[in-house]
């Protein structure tokens, strides 16, 4: 091959060789970046996964702790025994009160959910008062409330079936006499039962039928 021809062919092919070389270099560089970046990506993914698991663990721990405290608190930090005096009746003519006794044989009771005692509804100059007498006692639990029901209640399904029930007040103590002012305008004659109910767990505690004179 003549020198001039060889020089011309080199001039013609050399740019393509350079481009091919650059292309190979970029490909190899890209592959190296991918290969060297893969472990870092895997590490980042593992770190994110561990962080998510740690966060979930903390949240579950907080929820479990709060739930545990909700259950344990009434047993460890029970409210003090109360002994509120009976309110004075409006006049002698109203001495015939509505009374009730919590049913110790109600089907909804169990060794954990229970309450015993008697009570009455007293008409005073300020309004009607629902009273739990000094013999009242209940097993400890969270967030107990006093309700009035328009029907007989002996267990949870009876309570939940009563659309006309009225929430009166939170229980003040697990032991002792306590008074609860009834809402103004409430007609006690339309109600059948007094119920102690656990709001936190939707659980029946006790109930007693109103004995009207």
Q: What is the pLDDT of residues 200-209, one digit of tens each?
A: 999 999 999 9
Percent of the chain with pLDDT over 90: 58
Q: Is 66 helix (H, G, I), strand (E, B) or coil?
A: helix
At 71, is the pLDDT very low, low, confident or very high (cuts 50, 70, 90)?
A: low
Query: How far, CA to CA in Å, does 167 sit from each of 31, 98, 140, 197, 198?
Result: 71, 19, 20, 10, 12
Is the entire prediction scored with pTM above 0.95? no
């Amino acid at each position: 091959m003549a020198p001039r021809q060889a020089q011309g062919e080199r001039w013609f092919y050399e740019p393509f060789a350079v481009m091919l070389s650059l292309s190979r270099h970029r490909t190899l560089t890209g592959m190296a970046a991918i290969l060297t970046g893969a472990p870092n990506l895997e590490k980042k993914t593992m770190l994110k996964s561990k962080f998510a698991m740690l966060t979930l663990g903390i949240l579950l721990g907080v929820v479990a702790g709060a739930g545990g405290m909700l259950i344990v608190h009434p047993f460890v930090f029970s409210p003090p025994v109360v002994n509120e005096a009976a309110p004075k009746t409006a006049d002698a003519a109203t001495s015939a009160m509505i009374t009730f006794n919590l049913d110790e044989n109600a089907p909804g009771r169990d060794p954990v959910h229970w309450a015993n005692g008697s009570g009455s509804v007293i008409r005073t100059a300020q309004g009607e008062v629902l009273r739990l007498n000094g013999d009242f006692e209940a097993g400890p639990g969270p967030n107990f409330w006093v309700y009035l029901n328009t029907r007989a209640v002996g267990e949870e399904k009876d309570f939940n079936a009563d659309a006309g029930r009225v929430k009166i007040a939170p229980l003040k103590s697990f032991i002792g006499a306590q008074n609860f002012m009834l809402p103004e305008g409430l007609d006690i004659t339309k109600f059948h039962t007094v119920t102690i109910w656990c709001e936190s767990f939707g659980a029946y505690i006790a109930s007693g039928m109103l004995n009207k004179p």
